[in-house]
Amino acid sequence: MPGIAAIRNIQWQINKTAALFFCCFFVMFIGLGFWQIERAGQKKVWLETRGFNAAIEPQQVSWLSDFTGGEFSRVSLRGHYDLTHYWLLQNQVLDGIVGEDLLVPFITGAGEAVLVNLGWREESVWRKNSGQPQHLPSGAVTITAVLRKPFDLPFVSNIFEGGQASVLEVVPGDFPYTNLEANWYLQLDPSQPEALLTHWQMNTITPAKHIGYAVQWFTMAAVLLFAFLVTNSNLVSLWRVPKQQRQR
């Protein structure tokens, strides 16, 4: 059969180095594509849940480790801020301006510590003020916030060094701090007096955009596969042979 004959005429000249790079990037592109599809499903659930929880009163919580609610639940906690520790979440861009979110531990009345995101400020403002959270109350307060799960950014991890205050993602279990609740962190309600510019109530990337990103990653994987086949075989020369000659 012509098709089988054409396949038999394919000759391979595999470059081992190129094959290794191809496998690494191909698997990475496919993985990122499926990750974006998973994010689209998560984002759809998040948006629906966030809309529902925004309409109900916050739940008073004493122990977050025993809390049975889900992500985006609005909670109310009594305690105080730890003014001796803080971190800045890097690369937070609002309206085209690069800034950082301020992260501070909050100690509940039960002695449990949870990481609170107080909001955004322009990067130059933090440099000017040395990033110190000087506006926080020193005594006991009641805060209202939204429960969030830790980030799950692929190929990213925090690097903590001496005197390092900036972080790349919010994973409480990574932080060099004793007794932090590892399963949750808080996004402060914009009505709180200590809140900075809170941006989590704004629109986020839609599920449709995540699907679009997935299509882009899969397309890049397909282009990479095509390039590998062309550069490591004689497919191009076979394609140029007249059809009648290939059928002989």
Highest mean pLDDT among 155-159, 170-174, 213-217, 227-231: 213-217
SS3 179: coil
pLDDT digits (tens, 9 = 90+) for 1-17: 444 445 556 666 777 77
Q: Within 10 A of 207 (CB to CB), how many other CB atoms are there?
A: 18
Q: Hey, what are 141's tokens? A: 């307060």
pLDDT at residue 121 is higher than 90: no
Nearest CA-CA partner of 83 in 145, 25, 149, 131: 131
pLDDT of residue 229: 78
Who wins on pLDDT, 71 or 204?
71
Sheet strands (E) in 68-209: 74-81, 87-94, 97-108, 113-122, 141-148, 166-167, 185-188
Least confident segment among 124-133, 186-195, 222-231 = 124-133
Mean of pLDDT values over 31-43: 90
For the entire predicted model, the pTM comes to 0.63
pLDDT at 226 over 50: yes
Q: Residue 155 is encoded by which pair of tokens?
A: 């190929």
pLDDT band at 240 (very low <50, low <70, confident <90, very high): low
pLDDT at 191 over 50: yes
SS3 156: coil
Q: Do 124 and 96 meet the contact criterion of CB atoms below 8 Å apart?
A: no
- Of the listed ranges 77-81, 142-146, 151-155, the least confidently predicted one is 151-155
**Number of residues in the chain:** 248
Query: What value does the mean pLDDT of the chain take?
Result: 81
pLDDT of residue 161: 75
* pLDDT (0 to 100) of residue 1: 46
- Give the pLDDT band of residue 187 (cuts 50, 70, 90): very high
The residue among 83 and 131 whose pLDDT is bigger is 83
Alpha carbon 112 to its chain's center: 26
pLDDT of 153 reads 75
- pLDDT of 199: 86
